[in-house]
Amino acid sequence: MADSAVVSSSVAAVASRIEPVRHSAFVRITHWTTTLCFFALLVTGIEILISHPRFYWGEAGNVNTQALFKLPIPASRSTVPTGYGYVLPDQNGWSRALHFQSAWVAVLTGLLYVISSLVNGHLRVDLAPDRAHLSWSAFSTAIANHVRLRPLNGSDAWSYNLLQRLTYLGVIFILFPLIIWTGLAMSPAVMSAFPGMVSVLGGQQSARTIHFFVSGFLLLFVVVHISMICIAGFKSRMRAMITGRPDTNKEDA
């Protein structure tokens, strides 16, 4: 009996030291895959952009038509008027190939994430706001929590507040679908097969312009996301996304 009690107490002690998982392995894998794809898309997107840093609205647009707006940067093609007396190295070939490949990996990863999250309840439990979140006090508390310059510990490290939930849902169900839609709308093959999904945007040049602004919003999200990780506790948050378990007992130095 004494031995049994000792064993039971030892098991209980070990179990008490086991930290619960904050992020599942699947969430961590899809997170880092999407991160790599995003930075590949960002770099290659910039390379594609500087080949023609002018934007139009409608179906057609070229150097002989009036631009809706243009970026004050040099281009990588001498045929594009930018006001600079030089052109940048043209990296348009490899950047387009890598851009498309990274985009398809990101799309497939995103689909797997959404399907898995619907099946296992991750979206419903961790991201969908419940009644406790849908109040002005909850929203104001979320804002206050985001502007405090100290790491999150305890229960704060284990759940998303209202602002985080709404932001993540907006990125997953608004910005991601829109960036995919506008990206496909710029493809001549998609234009030929599904002209309606292009015309509803106003044309291929309109799709390119919308694609640019949505990319900017996604970049802003990433910048804010990384900033909030640093504010909330970089070591703990990174540990949670790498190992699945945040260090809730220690604050970042």
**pLDDT tens for each residue of 21-78:** 777 888 899 999 999 999 999 999 999 999 999 999 999 899 999 999 999 999 999 9
Q: Which two tokens stand for residue 235?
A: 């070591």
Q: Mean per-residue pLDDT for 7-14?
A: 46
In angstroms, rounded to a whole number, what is the distance separating the alpha carbons of residues 21 and 240?
Answer: 8
**pLDDT tens for each residue of 152-201:** 555 555 567 777 888 899 999 999 999 999 999 998 888 899 999 999 99
Q: What is the pLDDT of residue 216?
A: 97
Q: What is the pLDDT of residue 121?
A: 85
- Integer CA distances (angstroms), 246 to 96, 168, 251, in order: 38, 20, 11
Counting every residue written for the chain, the total comes to 253
Q: Which of 126, 103, 160 is nearest to 26 (CA)?
A: 126
Q: Is the model's pLDDT at 138 over the cut of 80?
A: no
Q: What one-character DSSP code corresponds to residue 174?
A: I
Q: Mean per-residue pLDDT for 227-249?
A: 79
- Helix, strand and coil content of the chain, in percent to the nearest 5, comes to 65, 0, 30
For residue 209, the tally of other CB atoms under 10 A from its CB is 21
Q: What is the pLDDT of residue 183?
A: 95
Q: Is the model's pLDDT at 11 over the cut of 70?
A: no
**DSSP symbols for 118-145:** HHHTHIIIIIS--TTTSSHHHHHHHHHH
Q: Is the model's pLDDT at 253 over the cut of 50?
A: no
Q: What one-character DSSP code corresponds to residue 175?
A: I
Q: What is the pLDDT of residue 237?
A: 82
More confident: 216 or 125? 216
